[in-house]
Amino acid sequence: MLKENDKLAIAFSGGKDSILMLNFFMDNPIIRDLLVIHIDPGFGSDIDSVEEYLENNGVNYLIHRLNIKSGIPKSNEHPCFICSY
């Protein structure tokens, strides 16, 4: 459970659920320090819009960039299937 003056790190994909969760924690007065973490797997997703949203909302954030695509063998499967298998 959260207590007053807690520090909190949350994962943020940039989707609707993440935006809702982020807004909840930004508006929560007991959270003293919030860090938003986004992992870019390197598949060419729109990281600029995620970063812009976080900057516009004044939150501390960390974007960790990976290049998973280079390590995935050629396959007819969608890359998400390969990682979750």
Residue 48 inside a domain? The answer is yes
HSE, CB side, 13 Å, CA atoms: give it for residue 28: 18
Q: For residue 28, tell me if it sits in a domain.
A: yes
CATH number of the domain enclosing 60: 3.40.50.620
- 30: in domain: yes
pLDDT of residue 75: 65
What is the DSSP code (8-state) at residue 61?
E
Contact 60, 31 (CB under 8 A): no
Alpha-carbon distance of 34 to 36, in angstroms, equals 7
Specify the higher pLDDT residue, 51 or 44.
51
Mean pLDDT of the chain: 85
User: Structural domain of residue 24, as residue ranges?
Assistant: 6-84
What is the mean pLDDT of the segment spanning 42-66?
Answer: 89
Q: Over the stretch 8-21, which tens digit does the pLDDT of each residue have?
A: 999 999 999 999 99
Q: What is the pTM of this model?
A: 0.77
